[in-house]
């Protein structure tokens, strides 16, 4: 059986193309709807079945986070049934999904975690995030772009900081003053057909000290979550592993509600550790969307994994029978 490394997506993965993703009769969908009703929030099936995508409704944190969690969990369960998972990771909010997918939280507790964190982040709306590439058109490291990021952060007077190391991209966060500084300081850079920097819609300054109150409130509101040893090794946003045989549930809780919230999230390190320590046959990316396909490719290039040295060689491998990365949705 194929040995897999499952990586769950974060915010930004549910888009117009994701509409009508939820199987209405599934037990997990019904469980999620009960928890939504308890929180007096709109039904997820109603949002998912909408005729048109509404940024105001579908990208509201309390709505989109729950939709992403549910779609990702459905896909991850399918991936686990047809492959042999060696490890599980997630990008930012995807860490919460990874916890449930790996068995460290029940489905319901994972949903409560996602829902409550989204509501808390709505309450503490203090800044935002931008995205900027640090690779060239061949997806190889670009020292000049890295230098530009370092310079913009150094001149921000502490108003901007690193948020997520995302393969060939840096997600930078800050207060409103910091975001304006980054957008003004970083020169335009084109990668593929996209021009950077740009601000991520409806994203707060996650993984920075600016959301310390979210962490503090989460410890109180989510004190009853039942963390347990995972059934599959989890790789966190530092590249640290939580294994089925050595995990302390309290350490897992402390990281999830503490450092994971207020310190930079290094998805690049998560992927690197999964590759080096578990040598999977395939990396499987649950939906919604396909936001991590290129990101994973950029890490494979940096690692020179199985002879992949640039974008062209990655695409060649992906186009053949031995594709290393499987995106479950498009």
pLDDT tens, residue by residue, 186-199: 999 999 999 999 99
Q: Where in the chain is the domain with CATH 3.30.70?
A: 128-203
For the four alpha carbons of 202, 180, 290 and 91, in that order, the dihedral sign comes to negative
Whole-angstrom Cα distance, residue 303 to residue 295? 13
Predicted confidence at residue 139, as pLDDT, reads 98
Average pLDDT on 158-176 reads 98
Q: Where in the chain is the domain with CATH 3.40.366.10?
A: 3-124+210-327
Q: Would you call the peptide bond into 163 cis, given omega within 30 degrees of 0 as the criterion? A: no
Predicted confidence at residue 185, as pLDDT, reads 97
For 127, phi then psi, to 5°, come to 175, -145
Predicted confidence at residue 106, as pLDDT, reads 98
Helix axes 267-278, 293-303, angle to 10 degrees: 60
Instruction: State the fold for domain 128-203.
Output: Alpha-Beta Plaits (3.30.70)
What CATH number labels 3-124+210-327?
Answer: 3.40.366.10
pLDDT tens, residue by residue, 113-134: 999 999 999 998 889 999 999 9
By CB atoms closer than 10 A (0-12, 13-18, 19+), residue 185 is middle
Coil, helix or strand at residue 281: coil
% residues pLDDT > 90 (the chain): 97
- Give me the residues paired with residue 131 across strands: 171, 198
Predicted confidence at residue 71, as pLDDT, reads 98
| pTM for the full predicted model | 0.97
CA distances from 101 to 118, 127, 136, 194 (A): 19, 30, 34, 32
H or E segment and range at residue 79:
helix 61-82
Average pLDDT on 147-169 reads 98
pLDDT tens, residue by residue, 247-273: 999 999 999 999 999 999 999 999 999
On whether the CB atoms of residues 142 and 135 are closer than 8 A, the answer is yes
pLDDT tens, residue by residue, 7-26: 999 999 999 999 999 998 99
% residues pLDDT > 70 (the chain): 100
Average pLDDT on 166-185 reads 98
Average pLDDT on 92-112 reads 98
Whole-angstrom Cα distance, residue 268 to residue 244? 23
On whether the CB atoms of residues 10 and 93 are closer than 8 A, the answer is yes
- Catalogue the E-assigned strands of 176-220: 189-191, 194-196, 198-199
DSSP state of 190: E
Predicted confidence at residue 330, as pLDDT, reads 84
Average pLDDT on 91-101 reads 98
Whole-angstrom Cα distance, residue 6 to residue 83? 10
Average pLDDT on 222-248 reads 98
Measured from the Cβ of residue 127, the count of other Cβ atoms closer than 10 Å reads 21
Predicted confidence at residue 134, as pLDDT, reads 98
Predicted confidence at residue 24, as pLDDT, reads 85
Measured from the Cβ of residue 289, the count of other Cβ atoms closer than 10 Å reads 22
**Given a cut of 90, is residue 317 above it in pLDDT?**
yes
Average pLDDT on 155-177 reads 98
Whole-angstrom Cα distance, residue 147 to residue 234? 32
């Amino acid at each position: 059986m194929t040995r897999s490394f499952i990586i769950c997506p974060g915010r930004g993965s549910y888009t117009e193309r994701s509409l009508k993703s939820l199987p209405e009769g599934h037990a997990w969908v019904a469980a999620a709807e009960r928890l939504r009703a308890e929180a007096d929030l709109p039904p997820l099936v109603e949002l998912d079945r909408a005729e048109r995508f509404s940024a105001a409704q579908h990208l509201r944190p309390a709505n989109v986070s729950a939709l992403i969690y549910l779609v990702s969990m459905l896909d991850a369960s399918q991936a686990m049934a047809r492959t042999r998972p060696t490890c599980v990771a997630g990008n930012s909010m995807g860490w919460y999904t990874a916890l449930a997918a790996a068995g460290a939280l029940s489905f319901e507790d994972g949903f409560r975690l996602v829902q409550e964190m989204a509501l808390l982040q709505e309450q503490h709306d203090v800044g935002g995030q931008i995205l900027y590439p640090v690779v060239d058109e061949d997806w190889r490291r670009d020292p000049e772009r890295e230098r530009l990021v370092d310079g913009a952060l150094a001149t921000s007077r502490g108003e901007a900081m690193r948020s997520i190391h995302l393969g060939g991209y840096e997600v930078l966060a800050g207060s409103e003053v910091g975001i304006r500084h980054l957008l003004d300081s970083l020169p335009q850079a084109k990668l593929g057909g996209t021009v950077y920097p740009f601000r991520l819609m409806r994203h707060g300054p996650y993984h920075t000290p600016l959301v310390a109150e979210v962490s503090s409130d989460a410890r109180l509101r989510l004190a009853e979550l039942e963390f347990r040893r995972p059934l599959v090794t989890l790789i966190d946003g530092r590249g640290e592993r939580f294994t089925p045989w050595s995990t302390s549930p309290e350490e897992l809780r402390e990281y999830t509600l503490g450092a994971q919230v207020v310190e930079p999230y290094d998805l690049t390190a998560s992927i690197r550790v999964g590759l080096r320590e578990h040598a999977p046959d395939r990396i499987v990316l649950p939906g919604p969307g396909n936001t991590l396909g290129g990101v994973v490719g950029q890490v494979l290039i940096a690692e020179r994994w199985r002879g992949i040295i640039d974008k062209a060689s990655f695409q060649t491998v992906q186009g053949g029978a031995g594709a290393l990365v499987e995106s479950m949705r498009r």
